[in-house]
Amino acid sequence: MDEKTRELIGIAASIAGHCRPCFQYHFKQAKTLNIPMIDLEETIEFAKSISEAGNKGMYELVQKQMKKEVK
């Protein structure tokens, strides 16, 4: 895997995993590698959608569990 791909994956994983130090590190590395801003923006948007889907799924699970407990 090339360095560009590794850093873009690092950015996406850090966003999806909510790891601020990881994001800062991988973003800095990406800038050092001169990864184009358009690639960074696309990766960030993709990671945000993954994170949001995970959050939505978790909230749905919590609601289902709470409904079971009320019964």
Q: What is the pLDDT of residue 40?
A: 97
The answer to whether residue 15 scores a pLDDT higher than 80 is yes
* Confidence at 71, pLDDT banded by 50, 70, 90: low
Q: For residue 28, give the amino acid letter.
A: K
Q: What is the pLDDT of residues 22-62, one digit of tens each?
A: 999 999 999 999 999 999 999 999 999 988 888 888 888 88
Q: Which residue has the tokens 């749905």?
A: 60
Cα angle 55, 29, 34 (rounded to 5 degrees) comes to 110
* Confidence at 14, pLDDT banded by 50, 70, 90: very high
